[in-house]
Structure 1
Amino acid sequence: MKTNLNNMNQILFVVDMVNGFCKEGAMADQSIMHIVKPIQELCEKIKPENRYFIADTHGVNDIEFTAFPQHCVKGEVESEVIDELKPYIQTPIIEKNSTNAFHAMKDHPALKDSEIDAYIITGCCSDICVLQFALTLKTYLNAQNIDKKVIVPKNAIETYNAPGHDAKQMNEVSYNLMKAAGIIVVDELN
């Protein structure tokens, strides 16, 4: 299913499309790179001031490293947005030190903009950072009685493959959890 962006004022969030998840390091899976083109295409359709890039950016002693290997340490190349998407960055990068971006931006003006009809979430990982951000954003909007759509295009999110972590299976689980929460999960946006 395709969903049309016409007649909607939207914000695009690009979650964790950083070197440390896409190209190099303990958490990287280069197969995630296949979603770059759909993200670029969405960036071209969204006003530059409505595109927000969120980057995993950790201190060397962050508690998250008890659950995951050390990755995306601030100041290192792993925490940088991949070169293929850098030309689309027009707003300050939102740095996060947990799997849920909402905690880094709960007071961000993008979430308070009354002119916005929809929030589009792209990036990786579908079953961790994208899922947590989408669910928290949707429940925040519900709790505040704010009628805005949260949209996740399947062709612009991905997760990693690893022993015991099958990307295809985890993507399906993520789609179903998001749909059950009232998030609009579509094949792609045009």
Structure 2
Amino acid sequence: MDVLVVVDMQNDFVSGSLGTKEAFDIVPHVVGRVVEGLNRGETILFTRDTHSPDYQNTQEGRRLPVPHCIRGSEGWEIIPQLQEYAAHPIDKPTFGSTDLGALLRARDEDLRRQGKPGVEKVTLIGVCTDICVLSNALLIKAFLPEAEIVVEAACCAGVTPQSHETALSAMAACQITVLRS
């Protein structure tokens, strides 16, 4: 089974309080990759950064004092171009989602019990390369050490272009396949 994970393609990261030109620019590539994944028969999963109104009282909020992705707000929503594909996003209160890792491991084990190949490849796209994409790629690698973990650089954007590149290098060093274009 091949899985495509779309990380945090939410209004606040594309056009809202933490939006960047780079995040805005990858939107057509991400939409195209999701459609391509559906046509290939990949399982598509979305994550959604999710904070409560007391975000600024959390450790993350004290270090990044920009309220964003507050549950129920417009900024929390998946961008309009992807909403039709993201029926049940996995809400995550922090950078990486252990729920996502556990879900993927459970699917892998279930498939193997049925005598089928398990989760063979997990591809990640989305934002921010240097925070949530990196965190989730490493978590998935820990939950599924034998699966190929892939990050498609052209469908990711970091906080800055430099931190995007730094994160891609770090993931490559951790045996994550980084596809460049």
Amino acid at match of 2:32: E
| 5+ long unaligned stretches in structure 2 | 109-117
SS in 2 for 1:106: helix
CA RMSD in angstroms comes to 1.7
TM-score (norm: length of structure 2): 0.84
The AA in structure 1 aligned to 2:28 is: K
Paired with 2:164 and 2:101, the residues of 1 have a C-alpha distance of 25
User: Which of 5, 10, 28 is the matching residue for 2:2?
Assistant: 10
Change beyond 3 A, Cα 1:151–1:171: same
Deviations 1:40-83 (A, max 9, x none): 12211223771111111111123121111211100100100000
For residues 141-160 of structure 1, the aligned pairs below 5 Å read 141-142=144-145, 147-160=146-159
Write the mapping of 1:115-130 to structure 2, written as runs, cut at 5 A.
115-130=118-133
Name the aligned partner's letter for residue 82 of structure 1: I
Mapped contact 1:121–1:134 kept (Cα < 8 A): yes
Partner of 1:163: none
**Counterparts of 1:107 and 1:116 in 2: how far apart (Å)?**
12
Cα distance in 2 for partners of 1:49, 1:174 equals 25
Deviations 1:102-124 (A, max 9, x none): 2343332x333233210010100
Q: How does 1:2-151 map to 2 (within 5 A)?
A: 9-25=1-17, 27-47=18-38, 50-62=43-55, 63=58, 64-68=60-64, 69-89=66-86, 91-100=87-96, 102-108=97-103, 110-114=104-108, 115-142=118-145, 147-151=146-150
Structure (1 or 2) with the greater helix fraction: 2
TM-score, normalised with respect to structure 1:
0.80
Structure 2 distance, partners of 1:177, 1:98, is: 20
Q: Once the 2 structures are TM-superposed, how far is the Cα of residue 180 of structure 1 from its aligned partner?
A: 0.6
CA contact (8 A) 1:10 1:46 kept: no
What are the superposed Cα offsets for residues 8-40 of structure 1, whole Å, 9 maximum, x if unpaired? x31111111100111112x22243121112211
Paired with 1:33 and 1:137, the residues of 2 have a C-alpha distance of 26
Question: Quick one: distance in 1 between partners of 2:89 and 2:54?
Answer: 22
Distance 1:49 1:59, change over 3 A: farther
How many residues are aligned here? 166
Which consecutive unaligned segments of at least 5 residues does structure 1 have? 1-8, 161-166
Q: Secondary structure at the match of 1:119?
A: strand
